[in-house]
Structure 1
Amino acid sequence: MSTELPKIPDSAPPSFFAVAMEYLVDAGQRSVLFLDVMRQRGLQYREHLAETVPHVLDYSVELIVDGRTLERPVNYGLVRITPPKGVEIDLKRRPFVVVDPRAGHGPGIGGFKADSEIGVAMKAGHPCYFVGFLPEPMPGQTIEDIARAEGVFLEKVIALHPDADGKPCVIGNCQAGWAVTILASLRPEMFGPIIIAGAPLSYWAGVRGKNPMRYSGGLLGGSWLTALTSDLGAGKFDGAWLVQNFENTNPANTLWTKQYNVYSKVDTEAPRYLEFEKWWGGHVNLNAEEIQFIVDELFVGNRLARGLIKTSDGEVVDLRNIRSPIVVFCSKGDNITPPQQALGWILDLYSDVDEIRAYGQTIVYTVHETVGHLGIFVSGGVAKKEHAEFSSNIDLIDILPPGLYEATFEAKSADTANPDLASGKWIMRCERRTLDDIRAMGDNSQEDERRFATAARVSEINLANYRKFVQPWVRAMATPQMAEWMRKWHPLRVQYEALAGQNPLTNAIETTAEKVREHRKPAASDNPFLVFQETVSKGIVSALDQWRDVQEALSERMFLSVYGSPALQAAVGIDPEADPSPKPEMSQDYRKRLDARIAELKSRIASGGLRECVIRGLLYVGASRGMVDERSLEALRRARTNDSGSRLTLSEFKALVREQFFMLLLEPEASLAAIPELLPEKAEARRAGLAVIREVLSASAEISGEAANRLHRVTELFGVTEDDATQANAGPFDPQAKAS
């Protein structure tokens, strides 16, 4: 009898033992490689912090202004981005300035990748600048000092681009968003369009059952804990605590998913993970005065949106003073800054769209369906779509008539009309909206507003008591050495330091990982143990998500119950009958200036020439559509290029559009009736002007319905027959031609 074992056919399924061994070998190798990734993360962490100016920008930069040299020194600086090879910059295009958030992390997230806010702006031909910061604040610097410094930076950018067709477009990410709006309200003359991405301007806003972070200040008794943390830090607030707050919002990702994703895909995921962790672990410090301002005035007090913040010289920070278009980019998938917090300031300040127009403001918002908070600034897909469209169409946004709009994006297709008039893969439209569209996303009731007002008042009382009875003792106890020790042993820093440095353990991990890579044997994707591993992982994520949901629901009930107590509200002076967050009224001075401007515009309705008539006719017909399409703007730009008269700058053209818009808004019939008297006698000039109107309107859609009816009326006002109007070409015309 033969003693040889029978051969298993190639088609036979592997035995249980073989499958188990395959998985065990793979799991063991992945464990070693995972530990090596953690070792690399620790080394990267130390190397990053050892840099003189640690950042994660993907571009070379040139220092333009060092904030440490200013009269009121700050740890901020302005740098110019050096365009990568193959990218051409047009110095006549408006510059872009990206201001990075200082929310516990180091700078660079706005230029983290080639497909980033900076990357897409440069591809569109714009010069780019970046405002970043050092890890340590300057002694005594405040939020107001930073705002003033950023004003100096913008002045420098404007001086470097005297021929640019428009003031700088400024992008403020997350916390930088409210910092930018503060400066823009104080120095509106320096700004072109402002893009605020994921910025919580109205921190009380939200929807019950969601957005639990807005309750945290009240549940902790207010901002006294912020002051205590700063005092224990010897006058500095460790930014790692802010990062910890972000991580606490998603325990499944923090405690499991982020690490498991590396472990399960260790052969391919390590570079992406290490790239992100370089920024995520670059913790920075803030002065006690800075963080206290942020928590008291913004997070707990919600004072920015209500126009209650004043500068040191008594100037009110009123967002209604901003004259540049404000673009708000937010997402339903953002649990840090949900759409309600990004857009609630509009409801806090204005009663209706007419009031927005009365202040001459243009507000454009877009709401992404799924992307998370960091994805708003980091995601390459978002950069290629939303940020790329903002960059390409920033001039369209700048000349929009005052009002409220939503930016929508439609992918180009074979059926897209005039695709050559739109750059990129998307068509951007700005569609008119009302405040009801903002309210439909979710708004606080008056009762909830009183709860938040009560929490703010309790915070003030607790902070005052802490400062009087506890703070002197804490400050006497906290030494710089103790503060440094506490920062060093913060749980987040310990994670990075655990496997950093050279020691027998890390050396063994590195050596073993090299051997594992040489003999790597990953398990087959259909290995049942690998499938079971994924099932277990999903179960852990589900359990952690359920635990988070329970905690958030409990937190919400506690907040609503405690601060909804009539006894507590009465005790801290909250009037149950009064509006807890009244809208700021229009000042008498502004009312006088507004009345004078209205009178001036009415007196000039019968002034102008062909150019004014063309813009007036365009606005009248286009208003029936309720939106502006980027293709129409490109058609209008090309018509401007063909002008035989003197060329208007973008700012002059913007002023012209606004004047004609307000004339039509104030006196629609008188504005239209004045057109025949303003037109030149030459029929050829009138036909050319009407052809421009027709070409611009037809660039984005067929002229039909109410738009066709309005165009027919404009055609009659221009004194052109329908046949002549249809056959006319938008050739050169004299935009300065006057009526004889």
Structure 2
Amino acid sequence: MQRNLDFAAEAGEIENPPAPEWASANTVRLDMDTMRLRAFRPSAGGSGLPVLIDAPYAGHSATIADYDQGQSLVQTLMANGLGQVFVTDWKPATPQMRYFGIDTYLAELNAVIDDLGGEVHLIGLCQGGWLGTMLAARFPGKLRSLTLAGSPIDTDAGTGPIRQLAHSLPLAVYEEMVAAGGGTMPGRFMLTGWKNMHPGKQYLEKFETLYRHVEDADYLARTEKFASWYENPVDLPGRYYLEAIGQLFKENRLAKGRFVALGRTLDLARITIPLYLLAGEADDITTREQVFRAAELFGTPADQVRKCLVPGGHIGLFMGRETLKTAWPDIARWIGQLG
């Protein structure tokens, strides 16, 4: 009876967890319409150019970049010689933000870089990678290097389920969801969609495993930590979301050289800066083909491109212990050598 009661209480905890928190001390350097720019070490205390982590804005908190002690990309970068690390902490969309489009986010990202001195090393995580790519093409000279981790640059490459879903559902379906959200795309709608990609795991196996480990304090702590991030989805502006679905995932305009950003059509061949591409072998959100295709589309010389394929899935690229131990220190050293 006590085990069943403990299980019921813990199941309720992971289904309705508190909001995620940052693992490392930080300050808010800028508070903008779209984001809070978080500084993890004062600029005066670092060496070299600032490193800007462009976190995903796809329905979950930017805390994935500083997930937990021992599972923090921010901490890994600083431990491997990068002194000035900043993260874009994108704000959940309010009704007043419903008309914010991709241009809005690109313009504010550009303003952030100006505030940091006009040039940075940018690390794009997932959707943050295509926004960083747009910035590199639209504003040459603003980035010293670009690292893309699980970032969908050519959304037609590979055969992943996200690609199939984007092409199988009419845009009208997404428009109806935005209308139901009063002009925003509710995070709870996206969360349901992600769970339905693996329904057996999300609605059955998760709770079976929880029942077996309900007396394991370490397991419960890890599960609660992940739930605080995963089960607290972030609403997105309807315009931004529909532009991403329609123009990037359905029409693949960025890879085809037809995406217009802040009044100019983007040519990815104009990007010639050093490029580091990181992909996961089992990533079913952004397949390796979608990431590695950047090497062919960009104008970066072949000897300035690095590729790394690591075991594991999508989220593990940003907070997985093994990837943080093996891949990211090499990326940090690579960035450090570029100055």
TM-superposed CA distance for 1:392, in Å, is 2.2
Question: What's 2:290 paired with?
Answer: 341
Question: Is 1:291–2:246 an aligned residue pair?
Answer: no
The match for 1:379 among 312, 317, 320 is 320
Question: Is 1:31–2:4 an aligned residue pair?
Answer: yes
The match for 1:366 among 308, 320, 330 is 308
Q: TM-score, normalised by structure 2?
A: 0.90
Question: What's 2:113 paired with?
Answer: 154
TM-superposed CA distance for 1:235, in Å, is 1.0
TM-superposed CA distance for 1:63, in Å, is 1.1
Matches within 5 A, 1:179-190: 179-190=131-142
Q: Aligned with 2:215: secondary structure?
A: helix
Matches within 5 A, 1:190-339: 190-207=142-159, 211-220=160-169, 222-268=170-216, 269-313=219-263, 315-339=264-288
- Look up the equivalent residue of 2:292 and give its one-letter code: L
Q: Aligned with 1:201: secondary structure?
A: coil
Q: 2:274, 2:168 → 1: CA distance?
A: 37
Q: TM-score, normalised by structure 1?
A: 0.43
Q: Aligned with 2:248: secondary structure?
A: helix
Question: Is 1:101–2:43 an aligned residue pair?
Answer: no
Q: 2:98, 2:64 → 1: CA distance?
A: 25
Unaligned runs of 5+ in 1: 1-27, 49-54, 69-74, 84-88, 160-166, 399-649, 651-740
Q: Aligned with 1:194: secondary structure?
A: strand
Q: Aligned with 2:261: secondary structure?
A: coil
TM-superposed CA distance for 1:309, in Å, is 0.4
Question: What's 1:516 paired with?
Answer: none
Q: Aligned with 1:170: secondary structure?
A: strand
Q: 2:303, 2:326 → 1: CA distance?
A: 25
Output the aligned Cα RMSD: 2.2
Q: 2:3, 2:292 → 1: CA distance?
A: 45
Q: 2:136, 2:255 → 1: CA distance?
A: 14
Q: 2:307, 2:127 → 1: CA distance?
A: 18
Tell whether the 8 Å contact from 1:56 to 1:109 is kept in structure 2 after alignment: no
Q: 2:272, 2:165 → 1: CA distance?
A: 34
**CA offsets per residue over residues 262-296 of structure 1, 9 Å max, x none?**
22112221111110111111211112211111001
Q: 2:303, 2:36 → 1: CA distance?
A: 30
Question: What's 1:135 paired with?
Answer: 92
The match for 1:172 among 111, 124, 149 is 124
- Look up the equivalent residue of 1:156 and give its one-letter code: D
Q: 2:193, 2:12 → 1: CA distance?
A: 25
Q: 1:304, 1:216 → 2: CA distance?
A: 19
Q: Label 1:64 to 1:361 Cα distance change in 2 as closer, same or farther (>3 A).
A: farther
Q: 1:302, 1:43 → 2: CA distance?
A: 36
The match for 2:74 among 95, 104, 118 is 118
Q: 2:3, 2:260 → 1: CA distance?
A: 56
Matches within 5 A, 1:656-671: none
Q: 1:329, 1:172 → 2: CA distance?
A: 10
Q: 2:143, 2:167 → 1: CA distance?
A: 36
Q: 2:300, 2:57 → 1: CA distance?
A: 30
Q: Label 1:76 to 1:367 Cα distance change in 2 as closer, same or farther (>3 A).
A: same
Matches within 5 A, 1:508-523: none
More strand by share: 2
Tell whether the 8 Å contact from 2:81 to 2:332 is kept in structure 1 after alignment: no
Tell whether the 8 Å contact from 1:197 to 1:330 is kept in structure 2 after alignment: yes
Q: 1:191, 1:57 → 2: CA distance?
A: 26
Q: 1:212, 1:42 → 2: CA distance?
A: 25
The match for 1:92 among 47, 66, 88 is 47
Q: 1:246, 1:362 → 2: CA distance?
A: 35
Q: 1:246, 1:40 → 2: CA distance?
A: 20
- Look up the equivalent residue of 1:318 and give its one-letter code: D
- Look up the equivalent residue of 2:177 and give its one-letter code: T
Tell whether the 8 Å contact from 2:11 to 2:207 is kept in structure 1 after alignment: no
Q: 1:199, 1:58 → 2: CA distance?
A: 24
Q: Label 1:259 to 1:188 Cα distance change in 2 as closer, same or farther (>3 A).
A: farther
- Look up the equivalent residue of 2:88 and give its one-letter code: V
- Look up the equivalent residue of 1:381 and give its one-letter code: E
Tell whether the 8 Å contact from 1:320 to 1:361 is kept in structure 2 after alignment: no
TM-superposed CA distance for 1:387, in Å, is 0.8
Q: 1:367, 1:145 → 2: CA distance?
A: 32
- Which has the bigger relative contact order, CA under 8 A and spacing at least 6? 2
Matches within 5 A, 1:22-61: 28-41=1-14, 44-45=17-18, 48=19, 55-61=20-26
Matches within 5 A, 1:700-715: none
Matches within 5 A, 1:269-668: 269-313=219-263, 315-347=264-296, 349=297, 357=301, 362-368=304-310, 370-396=311-337, 398=338, 650=339
- Flag the structure with larger Rg: 1
Q: 2:15, 2:163 → 1: CA distance?
A: 33
Q: 2:149, 2:325 → 1: CA distance?
A: 15
- Look up the equivalent residue of 1:62 and give its one-letter code: T
- Look up the equivalent residue of 2:197 and give its one-letter code: T
Aligned residues: 332
- Identity, % of aligned pairs? 21
Q: 1:67, 1:281 → 2: CA distance?
A: 25
Tell whether the 8 Å contact from 2:98 to 2:184 is kept in structure 1 after alignment: no
Q: Aligned with 1:266: secondary structure?
A: coil
TM-superposed CA distance for 1:145, in Å, is 0.9
Unaligned runs of 5+ in 2: none
Q: 1:114, 1:389 → 2: CA distance?
A: 20
- Look up the equivalent residue of 1:392 and give its one-letter code: R
- Look up the equivalent residue of 1:31 and give its one-letter code: N
- Look up the equivalent residue of 2:53 and give its one-letter code: V
Q: Aligned with 1:125: secondary structure?
A: coil
TM-superposed CA distance for 1:361, in Å, is 8.3
More helix by share: 1
Q: Aligned with 2:166: secondary structure?
A: helix
Q: Aligned with 1:304: secondary structure?
A: helix
TM-superposed CA distance for 1:337, in Å, is 0.9
Q: 1:244, 1:42 → 2: CA distance?
A: 13
Q: 2:58, 2:241 → 1: CA distance?
A: 10
**CA offsets per residue over residues 480-534 of structure 1, 9 Å max, x none?**
xxxxxxxxxxxxxxxxxxxxxxxxxxxxxxxxxxxxxxxxxxxxxxxxxxxxxxx
Q: 1:323, 1:98 → 2: CA distance?
A: 20
